[in-house]
Amino acid sequence: MMIKILLMNLWLLAFISAILSENSSPKAVIPSNYHNDFDEQGITKINADNNKNNPKNGVTGKDSQSLGETEKLTTLDEAKPAISRQDHNHLKNVFLPSFNTNISHEITKRNAENDENTPKNGIIGKYSKLLEEKDKIATLSGAITAISRQDLAGCVLTLAFDSYLEDSAIVTSVLKSRHLRQVLKVRKTEDFLTLPWNTSLSSQCQGYIFLLRDPEPLLTFVDEAEEPWDFHGKYILVGFSKAELEQAVSSKKGKKTEHIVGIVEGSDGSWRLYMNQLYWKDGMEFVKSWRHNGFTSAANLFPDKTSDLKGIELTLITFEFAPHIIYGRGGRGPSGRDMQVANALSQSLNFTLRYKEPPPGELWGSKLPNGTWTGLVASLARNEGHMGMANVFLSNNNDRILVQDFSRFYDADVSCFMARTDPPLPRWQSLALPFQLETWLAIMLGLFIFCPLLFCIGKASAL
């Protein structure tokens, strides 16, 4: 009877202690001597779940309040070893479900609090995103400034941007350049027509920086027609994805442009620079990255892409026109003065030739009433060939320069006109023939009329 009373008192004491510990905040942990009797698998799972959302916290802080119950169980286990194993298990069954429930509740609450303060949500999250975006723009501004000073040094610059980057540090840094010639805010495709495109073979370097969050206006513009456009300029495209850069360089304007560089944001926070290949190959190739306020290599962004064409095949539009183009016999290729020039170019620039004729009878071609062309000019306008040779003269008949360019001349012809001169005049006519009949009549009138009149006037004044 005394033992039962003692057990009930101990049970009541343990229950009161558990309630008191729940209202306090002791920094309790699971004692090592209770490790084997406690549900180790359960607490490990709870810690693992919590660590996914807050790696710096396990079952700590507010969760330690519930752990106070475990401490009471352990204290009871150490103080009264005489309690039977059955009673001990009974006490565990009473308190452990409450303990697990409290732990789950606290962890859920803690995770919710953590989510509210993570940088991806709420006011803190928005501010963090703004800071991250500002840092990206500052890094990109440094890259463009470095390119302007190193690779575009001495070039006349043209800047085009849309509303997204209008007030950014990138635009501000480019606007400070003393070589800036034109600034354009892009709203639609037609805005690009207002730029002062350099279409001549000028020796002045031309640089174009396009900062576009929405690249669609430019992608539409470069694929509409080949003019107006500066095929010899150096272009920097910012705001494009890798796929959009590929689309730009494969357009009507892009595939004939020598220098196009695109800047794309990398997954590691760097900025990756890609370069078009012109005739070497299709698409864009990675050149280098901008990371930690510097380039990862000293690779040239605008190398010479025409001095060595790396063995590519170019199509020559031509037809037989002796002695400039003479078709070979016995399997030999075309020969003649123009073909000697073409073969010399292929050896010097490292490319091979493929020949193609214009439609029969069209030869050099002429302009039709609808504005299109025929013959050699039309083949070049349709991009069916890269060059045309057949004793072509430098001329702008019917504005053909709008659909083709001329190389520097490699031959010159001089033409002159001859006319028969009149025989020399007889000597007796040498005095009279220099004057016309009207002149002689005036002279005779002066001699036969004015002279007597003057004589009479003089005679009268003498009286």
**pLDDT of 435-454, one tens digit each?**
888 888 888 888 888 888 88
Total-model pTM: 0.60
What distances in angstroms separate CA 93 from CA 18, 87, 453, one per listed residue?
A: 14, 10, 160
- Mean pLDDT, to the nearest integer, of 376-394? 87
HSE-up of 11 (CA within 13 Å, CB side)? 17
> Residues 343, 347, 349, 351: what is their CA dihedral angle, to the nearest 10 degrees?
80
- What are the start-end ranges of the E strands in 249-367? 259-265, 271-276, 284-290, 312-317, 351-356
**pLDDT of 250-300, one tens digit each?**
998 998 899 999 999 988 888 999 999 998 888 899 999 998 789 999 999
Q: For residue 210, give the H/E element and its range.
A: strand 206-211
Query: In whole angstroms, what separates CA 195 from the centre of its chain?
Result: 18
Kindly state the DSSP code that residue 241 receives in the 8-state scheme: -
- DSSP assignment of 20-44, as one string? HHHHS-------GGGTTTS-HHHHH
What is the pLDDT, as a whole number, of residue 35?
40
- DSSP assignment of 99-116, as one string? HHHHHHHHHHHHHHHHHH
Q: Does domain 312-402 have CATH number 3.40.50.2000?
A: no
Which pLDDT band, with edges at 50, 70 and 90, does 21 fall under? low
Q: 3-class SS at 158?
A: strand
The helix-helix angle for 63-79 and 85-117 (nearest 10°) equals 160
- Mean pLDDT, to the nearest integer, of 427-434? 74
353 bridge partner residues? 314
What is the pLDDT, as a whole number, of residue 267?
84
| Cβ count within 10 A of residue 118 | 13
What is the pLDDT, as a whole number, of residue 218?
94
Q: What is the mean pLDDT of the chain?
A: 75
The answer to whether 318 touches 338, Cβ cutoff 8 Å, is yes
Measuring CA to CA, which residue among 392, 422, 427 is closest to residue 406? 392
**pLDDT of 321-362, one tens digit each?**
888 888 876 567 788 888 889 999 999 999 999 999 998 888
Q: Extract the tokens encoding 184.
A: 């354009």
The label of the residue with tokens 């095929």 reads 231
State which of 115-119, 340-344, 402-406, 458-462 shows the largest mean pLDDT: 340-344
Paired sense of beta strands 284-290 and 271-276, if any: antiparallel
- Lateral strand order in the sheet of 351-356: 351-356, 312-317, 387-388
What distances in angstroms separate CA 231 from CA 156, 197, 260, one per listed residue?
A: 15, 10, 10
CA distance 221 to 324: 40
The answer to whether 312 touches 282, Cβ cutoff 8 Å, is no
CA distance 91 to 367: 104
Query: In whole angstroms, what separates CA 400 from the centre of its chain?
Result: 32
Q: 3-class SS at 52?
A: helix
Residue 237 has pLDDT above 70, yes or no: yes
CA distance 346 to 325: 17
Q: Helices in 156-268 by DSSP H: which ranges?
A: 169-175, 216-222, 242-249
The answer to whether 285 touches 275, Cβ cutoff 8 Å, is yes
Measuring CA to CA, which residue among 209, 192, 223, 220 is closest to residue 263? 209
What is the pLDDT, as a whole number, of residue 65?
43
Question: Which residues make Cβ contacts (< 8 Å) with residue 320, sequence separation at least 6?
Answer: 326, 327, 334
| Cβ count within 10 A of residue 255 | 17
The answer to whether 238 touches 245, Cβ cutoff 8 Å, is no
First to last CA, the chain: 191
Query: In whole angstroms, what separates CA 176 from the centre of its chain?
Result: 21
Measuring CA to CA, which residue among 317, 308, 266 is closest to residue 289? 266
CA distance 163 to 369: 43
Measuring CA to CA, which residue among 90, 92, 111, 2 is closest to residue 46? 111
- Mean pLDDT, to the nearest integer, of 236-258? 92
Kindly state the DSSP code that residue 419 receives in the 8-state scheme: -
Name the CATH superfamily housing domain 130-290. Response regulator (3.40.50.2300)
